């Protein structure tokens, strides 16, 4: 059926390749491209050994629009799955526009020089995507991604009006290292060391990093310190969930992680501006990434579970209610299935599902979309089938 081009052969890219190969009835032809061909070769070999199936591979610098256009013209995909870094969102969107090919990603555009993400520049493609009669699906990972679909599902089946949403993200995995990040260290550390922000009564309220903490009892995991962060899906949910009065995002961090991060920050290792070192220019955060364990290698050593979900409160038929929708994912099980830990898995599976719904014609449109704009039911159904079953609880 579909011919797809996946760009980015990292931790999440690995899962996307596995899950697309597992759904060969939809993804008939798969090409994996990345900055280094060697990264693609590893996964090409892996799926050949595991599923006895072939995928094509290619080298591309996704910062280079003409190079992307040339690759897309050669591969002639029906869609491009951007599983590289948020820095590449705009160039890949531009290349898809120039070639008339659908687009999907898992993370909001960020400029390398400023640790700030917003949808503005990606939403600005909307009219041009409409004119070109193509579709972009933004943020089809877990959060953003599944959390947006959970909100749309709550809205559709449980509420006349949702008043508050808390997104609750817990990773209780233990990889045995003193300090490591579960996905790209640069993107991860930029996110968690930034100021917090939540939305209440029509305005954004800024907090110091890690200023607001609560303890949440995560099913199958237990009580964990959870800190308020800014997270990108709030920007689109505020726009699309009508009547919303407050939305917040919380993520769990252990004492040791926060102490390491504070020390690194205090000595300047989280800096994203160039510094001079022995006559060479380096960016501290990028040097730190070189020192830290590669997240794509954590799978084999990580034990424990993730639990990510939403708590929505609101009104149905005049009665107040509160529901919790969540998924629990086991690091060891995802490693067994795909060679990746659960953070990569929970991102890669929804990326495949978003692409599958687009290619099957279940989610269609012209322009730029976030996931909560579509009917959540086929996505929720696919989560149960594709390895990320969910639970709804009345609180
Ligand atoms: N929504 C969610 O829930 C969620 C959660 C976690 C992560 N994410 C997002 O998922 C994406 C992938 O994360 P990850 O953990 O897989 O990161 P990763 O392991 O660092 O992988 C990123 C891959 O992108 C490739 N790449 C980087 N720059 C490139 C360029 N200029 N041209 C071509 N390829 C390039 C790298 O290629 P080489 O190996 O070839 O050098 C690398 O393999 C990120 O955008 C991250 O923010 C989303």
Residues 210 and 139: their CA atoms lie apart, in Å, by 24
The pair of structure tokens assigned to 61 is 């610098």
Residue 169 to residue 142: CA distance in whole angstroms: 10
In the chain, the percentage of residues whose pLDDT exceeds 70 is: 99
pTM of the model: 0.93
Cis omega before residue 59 (within 30°)?
Answer: no
Instruction: Find the 41 Cα to ligand 1 centroid distance in Å.
Output: 16
Closest ligand 1 atom, residue 142 Cα: 3
For the Cβ of 88 lying below 6 angstroms from any atom of ligand 1, the answer is: yes
Question: In sequence order, which residues have a C-beta less than 8 Å from that of residue 294 and are 6 or more positions away?
Answer: none
Q: Is the peptide bond before 301 cis (omega within 30 degrees of 0)?
A: no
56 pLDDT tier (thresholds 50, 70, 90): very high
Pocket test for ligand 1, best of 10, 80, 194 (most atoms within 8 A of CB): 10
| Digit-coded pLDDT (tens) for 147-202 | 999 999 999 999 999 999 999 999 998 888 888 887 777 777 777 778 999 999 99
Contact 71, 60 (CB under 8 A): yes
Residues near 73 by Cβ (< 8 Å), separated by ≥ 6?
Answer: 99
Cα separation, 177 vs 200, whole angstroms: 38
pLDDT bin (cut points 50, 70, 90) of residue 115 is low
Q: Which atom of ligand 1 is nearest to the CA of 40?
A: 40
Instruction: Give pLDDT tens digits for 350-386.
Output: 999 999 999 999 999 999 999 999 999 999 999 999 9
The answer to whether the CB of 338 falls within 8 A of the CB of 18 is yes
**pLDDT band at 110, cuts 50/70/90?**
confident
H or E segment at 226?
strand 222-229
Give how far Cα 3 sits from Cα of 75, 140, 150, Å: 8, 19, 29
Q: Please report, rounded to a whole number, the percentage of residues in the chain having pLDDT higher than 90.
A: 79
- CB of 84 within 6 A of ligand 1: the answer is yes
Q: Are 68 and 31 in contact (CB under 8 A)?
A: no
Q: Which atom of ligand 1 is nearest to the CA of 139?
A: 1
**Which of 247, 314, 260, 246 is closest to 288 using CA atoms?**
260
Q: How far is the CA of 84 from the centre of ligand 1 (A)?
A: 4
- Token pair recorded at residue 341: 């830990």
To which H or E segment does residue 336 belong? helix 331-338
| Integer Cα distance of 319 and 17 in angstroms | 45
Q: Name residue 216's beta-bridge partners.
A: 224
């Amino acid at each position: 059926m579909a011919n797809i081009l996946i760009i980015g052969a990292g931790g999440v890219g690995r899962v996307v390749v596995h899950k697309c190969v597992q759904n060969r009835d939809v993804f008939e032809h798969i090409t994996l491209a990345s900055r280094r061909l060697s990264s693609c070769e590893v996964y090409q070999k892996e799926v050949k050994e595991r599923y006895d199936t072939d995928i094509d591979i290619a080298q591309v610098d996704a910062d280079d629009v003409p190079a992307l256009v040339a690759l897309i013209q050669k591969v002639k995909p029906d869609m491009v799955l951007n599983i590289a870094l948020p820095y590449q969102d705009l160039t890949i969107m531009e290349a898809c526009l120039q070639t008339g090919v659908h687009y999907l990603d898992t993370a909001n555009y960020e400029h390398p020089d400023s640790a700030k993400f917003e949808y503005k520049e990606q939403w600005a493609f909307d009219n041009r995507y409409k004119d070109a009669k193509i579709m972009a699906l933004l943020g089809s990972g877990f959060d953003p991604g599944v959390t947006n679909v959970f909100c749309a599902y709550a809205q559709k089946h449980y509420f006349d009006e949702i008043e508050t949403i808390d997104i609750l993200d817990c990773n209780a995995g233990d990889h045995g290292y003193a300090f490591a990040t579960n996905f790209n260290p640069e993107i991860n550390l930029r996110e968690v060391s930034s100021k917090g922000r939540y939305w209440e009564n029509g305005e954004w309220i800024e907090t110091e990093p890690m200023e607001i903490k609560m303890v949440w009892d995560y099913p199958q995991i237990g009580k964990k310190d959870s800190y308020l962060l800014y997270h990108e899906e709030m920007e689109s949910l505020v726009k699309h969930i009508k009547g919303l009065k407050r939305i917040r995002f919380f993520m769990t961090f252990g004492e040791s992680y926060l102490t390491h991060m504070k020390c690194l920050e205090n000595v300047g290792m989280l800096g994203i501006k160039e510094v001079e070192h022995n006559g060479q220019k380096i960016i501290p955060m990028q040097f730190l990434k070189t020192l830290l364990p590669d997240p794509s290698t954590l799978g084999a050593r990580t034990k424990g579970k993730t639990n990510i979900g939403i708590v929505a409160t609101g009104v149905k038929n005049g009665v107040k209610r509160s529901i919790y929708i969540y998924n629990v994912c086991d690091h060891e099980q995802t490693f067994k299935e795909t060679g990746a830990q659960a953070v990569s898995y929970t991102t890669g599976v929804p990326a495949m599902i978003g692409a599958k719904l687009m290619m099957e014609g279940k989610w269609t449109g012209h322009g730029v979309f976030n996931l909560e704009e579509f009917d959540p039911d086929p996505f929720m159904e696919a989560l149960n089938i594709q390895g990320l079953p969910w639970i709804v609880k009345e609180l």
